[in-house]
Amino acid sequence: MKLRGKGLFIWQLWKCEGGDPEVIAAKAKAAGLSHVLIKIADGDRWTYNLDPKTKVDLIPPVRQALKEEGIEVWGWQYVRGRNPIGEARLAIQRTKALGMDGFVIDAEAEYQSTSKRTAATRYMKELRAALPDLPIALSTYRFPKLHRTLPYSEFLSACDYAMPQVYYEQRHNPETQLEICVEQYMALNPARPIIPTAPIYGRGNWRPSADETSRFFAKAKEMGLSAANAWSWDVGSRPAYNDLWSAVADFDWPSDPPDAPVVDMPERLVGRLNQHDRKLVAGLYAENAAHVTGERTIFSREAIANWYGRLFREILPEASFEITGKAGSGSTRHYTWTAQSSRGQVIDGNDTLGLREGKIQYHFSYFTVR
């Protein structure tokens, strides 16, 4: 897997469009993003991006919505090196549970010591042994020569990418900063393909301009880099930084190959059913959609969301859904399906979808629980 195009880091998911999966996915698609990088862990103890009030994990429905738009989802972890095995094991657990497409290590001040070389080696050995085929990147300072004690080699020896943080604070020369960064990273042993990260935030009286942001991405593309990122969605989506968000969104950097697969609506629907989130499922329906069964017909996305809530709570709790056949094209899809749950199984699911402007306009559904 090779990253191509534009990506955005997310720190606190609930501060990004309120954590709404549909809005996040739509905004990422509109911005032409190829990937989004979400914080999944901090150190050796803290799983990350749980709802601050309910402690529900916010990431799975967002990941599902992004994947349906063909956008890769990577996880990242801030590491400190006090307990490298514990940090690695938390990263492994979260990465596997969430089905991440890749993983990023954020190593900064705590790792600026030659005494942390052993910790970096132990962390990477544990991580790579459990995730042998997953793309892994190191995100840290932009100029290795200014941070010589950070164990670059120990990290990069088991990484696929370097993701330097080219935050040119108090300066307005993104091209020069990026050139120096790439030169210094390519001199490391081992050198890895570079995917730089631009700032779309302000610090004190300093902030980049939209023109500087566009120039950063243009320079990265001109230098032959396959991708570039921005930090971060949390800040860049605020009204005060709309110009920086637009600069990222408007920059033309196609990511998808011509033959990239498109996830069809029945697969999208069943994928969301397996997330057991009524609002996430209802997000696939038009606002005035109709849902028809042998018992009744209901109208509106809200009513449909309420029905799915009952399905997940009472009819088929903790169910696993699977498509067994599919036909149709254009605006109509017909598919058959099964489900296994703690209260019974469905072996005769038989549904028809009517589509309009990328949403489900009507849904005829038949199934019996045995």
Domain ranges of the chain: 5-250, 265-366
Return the ∠ at Cα 289 (arms to 283 and 336), rounded to 5°.
Answer: 80
5-250 and 265-366 share one fold: no
Residue 328 falls in which region: left (phi positive, over 0), alpha (psi -120 to 50) or beta: left
Q: For the chain, what is the radius of gyration of the CA atoms?
A: 23
CA distance 286 to 335: 19
Closest residue by Cα to residue 158 from 134, 176, 180: 134
Secondary structure tally for the chain: helices H, strands E: 12, 15
List of residues 6+ apart from 263 with CB closer than 8 A = 67, 68, 70, 271
- CATH code for the structural domain at 5-250: 3.20.20.80
What class does CATH assign to 265-366? Answer: alpha beta
Written as tens digits, the pLDDT of the chain (370 aa) is 578 999 999 999 999 999 999 999 999 999 999 999 999 999 998 999 999 889 999 999 999 999 999 999 999 999 999 999 999 999 999 999 999 999 999 999 999 999 999 999 999 999 999 999 999 999 999 999 999 999 999 999 999 999 999 999 999 999 999 999 999 999 999 999 999 999 999 999 999 999 999 999 999 999 989 999 999 999 999 999 999 999 999 999 986 554 556 689 999 999 999 999 999 999 999 999 999 998 899 999 999 999 999 999 999 999 999 999 999 888 999 999 999 999 999 999 999 999 998 899 999 999 999 9
Per-position DSSP letters for 344-358, written without gaps between them: EEEEEEEEEEEEETT
For residue 362, the Cα-to-chain-centroid distance in whole angstroms is 30
List of residues 6+ apart from 33 with CB closer than 8 A = 5, 6, 7, 8, 71, 255
The pair phi, psi for residue 177, each rounded to 5°, is -60, -40
Residue 279 structure tokens: 């609002």
Element (H, E) at 30: helix 21-30
